[in-house]
Structure 1
Amino acid sequence: MTTFLTDDFLLHSEVARELYHDFAKDMPIIDYHCHLPPEQVADDYQFANLGEIWLKGDHYKWRAMRANGVEEKYCTGKDISDREKFQKWAETVPATIGNPLYHWTHLELRRPFGIDDSLLNGATAENIWNRANEMLASPEFSARSIMRKMNVRMVGTTDDPIDDLRAHKKTAEDNSFSIRMNPSWRPDKSFLINATGYVDYIAKLSEVSDTEINSFADLCAALSKRLDHFAAHGCTISDHALDTVVYEEASEAELNNILSNRLSGSFVSEKEAAAFKTAVLIYLGKEYAHRGWAMQYHIGALRNNSSRMLSLLGPDTGFDSINDGLIAQPLSRLLNRLDEEDALPKTILYALNPRDNEVLATMCGNFQGGGIPGKIQFGSGWWFNDQKDGMLRQMEQLSQLGLLSRFIGMLTDSRSFLSYTRHEYFRRILCNMIGTWVIDGEAPKDMKLLGGMVQDISFNNANRYFELNIAL
Structure 2
Amino acid sequence: MSSTKFIHDNFLLENQYAEELYHNYSKSQPIIDYHNHLPPQFIAEDRAFSNMTEVWINGDHYKWRAMRTLGVNEDFITGKASDKDKFLKWAKTVPYTMRNPLYHWTHLELARYFGIYDLLNEKSAESIWEQTQEKLNKKDYSCRGLLKKVNAELVCTTEDPTDSLKYHQQLAKSDFSVKVSTAFRPDKAILISNDGYNDYMDTLGKVSGMAMDSFQDLCGALKNRIEYFHTNGCRLCDHGIDQIYFEDYTESEVNAIFKKKRQNKAITNEEALKFQSAVLVFLCETYHEYGWVQQFHLGALRNNNARMHRILGPDTGWDSIGDFTQAQKLSAFLNALDGKDKLTKTIIYNLNPADNEVMATMIGNFNDGSVKGKVQFGSGWWFLDQKDGMTKQLNALSNMGLISCFVGMLTDSRSFLSFPRHEYFRRILCNLLGDEIKRGELPKEEMEWIGKMVADISYFNAKEYFDF
Specify the TM-score bucket, using the shorter chain as the normaliser: over 0.9
Secondary structure class of the residue paired with 2:370 = coil
The separation in 2 between residues aligned to 1:178 and 1:6, in whole angstroms, is 29
Secondary structure of the 1:112 match is helix
Matches within 5 A, 1:187-266: 187-266=186-265
After TM superposition, the structure 1 stretch with the greater mean CA deviation from structure 2, 236-245 or 449-458, is 236-245
TM-score by length of 2: 0.98
Cα shift at 1:467: 2.4
Conserved 8 A contact 2:7-2:111:
no
The residue identity in structure 1 corresponding to 2:279 is V
Give the drift of 1:244: 2.8
**1:74-113 alignment, distance < 5 Å:** 74-77=76-79, 79-113=80-114
CA distance in 1 between partners of 2:34 and 2:58 (Å): 22
Aligned residues: 465
Q: Which residue of 2 aligns with 1:344?
A: 343
SS at match of 2:77: helix
Aligned to 2:41: 39
Residue 20 of structure 2 aligns with which residue?
Answer: 18
- The answer to whether the Cα contact below 8 Å between 2:235 and 2:291 also exists between their aligned partners in 1 is yes
Give the SS at the match of 1:241. strand
State the percentage of identical aligned residues: 52
Which residue does the alignment assign to 2:329?
330
Distance 1:17 1:3 in 2: 17
Where does residue 319 of structure 1 map in the other structure? Answer: 318
Identify which range, 443-452 or 27-36, moves more after superposition: 443-452
Distance 2:77 2:277 in 1: 38
What's the offset of the Cα at 1:255?
0.5
- The question of whether the paired residues in 1 share the 8 Å contact of 2:49 and 2:142 is answered with yes
**Partner Cα separation in structure 2 for residue 55 and residue 237 of structure 1:** 29
Give the structure 1 partner of residue 433 of structure 2: 434
Which aligned pairs between 1:351-366 and structure 2 lie closer than 5 A? 351-366=350-365
Structure 1: gaps of 5 or more residues: none
Looking at structure 2, the residues matched to 123 and 140 of structure 1 have their Cα atoms a distance apart, in angstroms, of 28
Paired AA for residue 78 in structure 2: T
Deviations 1:30-73 (A, max 9, x none): 00000000100100010111110000100000000001110111
Structure 2 Cα separation of the partners of residues 437 and 375 of structure 1 = 27
Q: What is the CA distance between 1:4 and its match in structure 2?
A: 2.6
RMSD of aligned residue pairs (Cα, Å): 1.0
* Residue type at the aligned position of 1:307: A
Is 1:140 the counterpart of 2:140? The answer is: yes
Partner Cα separation in structure 2 for residue 420 and residue 3 of structure 1:
21
Looking at structure 2, the residues matched to 141 and 2 of structure 1 have their Cα atoms a distance apart, in angstroms, of: 28
Distance in 1 of aligned mates of 2:19 and 2:414? 30
Which amino acid in structure 2 is aligned with residue 75 of structure 1? I
Aligned to 2:324, what secondary structure does the other structure show? coil
CA deviation after TM superposition for structure 1 residue 219, in Å:
0.5
Q: What amino acid does structure 1 have at the position aligned with 2:129?
A: W
Alpha-carbon shift at residue 329 of structure 1 (Å): 0.4
The alpha carbon displacement at 1:436 in A equals: 1.1
Please tell me whether the aligned partners of residues 91 and 120 of structure 2 are also in contact (alpha carbons under 8 angstroms): yes
> Once the 2 structures are TM-superposed, how far is the Cα of residue 439 of structure 1 from its aligned partner?
1.1
Question: 2:115 is paired with a residue of what secondary structure?
Answer: coil
Give how far 1:249 is off: 1.6
Determine if contact 2:184/2:237 at 8 Å carries over to the other structure: yes
Task: Tell me how far apart the structure 1 counterparts of residues 65 and 372 of structure 2 sit (CA, whole Å).
Answer: 39
Partner of 2:155: 155
SS in structure 2 of the partner of residue 157 of structure 1: strand
**Following the alignment from structure 1 to structure 2, what is the Cα–Cα distance between the partners of residues 386 and 266?**
41
For 1:370 and 1:94, locate their aligned partners in 2 and report how far apart those are by CA, in whole Å. Answer: 49
Question: Where does residue 278 of structure 1 map in the other structure?
Answer: 277
SS in 1 for 2:317: coil
Q: Identify the range of structure 1 (4-13 vs 291-300) with the bigger mean alpha-carbon deviation.
A: 4-13
Look up the match of 1:164: 164
Aligned amino acid, residue 87 of structure 2: F
1:438 deviates by 0.8
Q: Distance in 1 between matches of 2:349 and 2:410?
A: 12
TM-superposed CA distance for 1:245, in Å, is: 2.8
Unaligned runs of 5+ in 2: none
Between the aligned partners of 2:232 and 2:51, the Cα distance in structure 1 is 32
Which residue identity does 2:111 align to in structure 1?
Answer: R
Look up the match of 1:8.
10
| Distance (Å, rounded) in 1 between the aligned partners of 2:271 and 2:339 | 23
Give the distance between the partners of 1:255 and 1:368, measured in 2 at CA.
Answer: 31
The 5 A counterparts of 1:110-129 are 110-116=111-117, 118-129=118-129
Flag as ranges the 4+ runs of structure 1 deviating above 3 A: none
Matched letter for residue 160 of structure 1: D
User: What is the CA–CA distance in structure 2 between the aligned matches of 1:35 and 1:431, rounded to whole Å?
Assistant: 27
Mapped to 1, the partners of 2:4 and 2:265 lie a distance apart of: 62
Deviations 1:430-459 (A, max 9, x none): 000011111111111122101110010000
Matches within 5 A, 1:173-184: 173-174=173-174, 176-184=175-183
Residue 62 of structure 1 corresponds to 64
Sort the Cα spacing of 1:3 and 1:133 in 2 relative to 1 into closer, same or farther, 3 A: closer
Task: Please tell me whether the aligned partners of residues 185 and 237 of structure 2 are also in contact (alpha carbons under 8 angstroms).
Answer: yes
SS of alignment partner, residue 234 of structure 1: coil
Q: How far did 1:7 drift?
A: 0.9
CA distance in 2, matches of 1:250, 1:371: 30
Q: 2:242 touches 2:324 (CA, 8 Å); kept in 1?
A: no
Q: Which residue of structure 2 aligns with residue 401 of structure 1?
A: 400
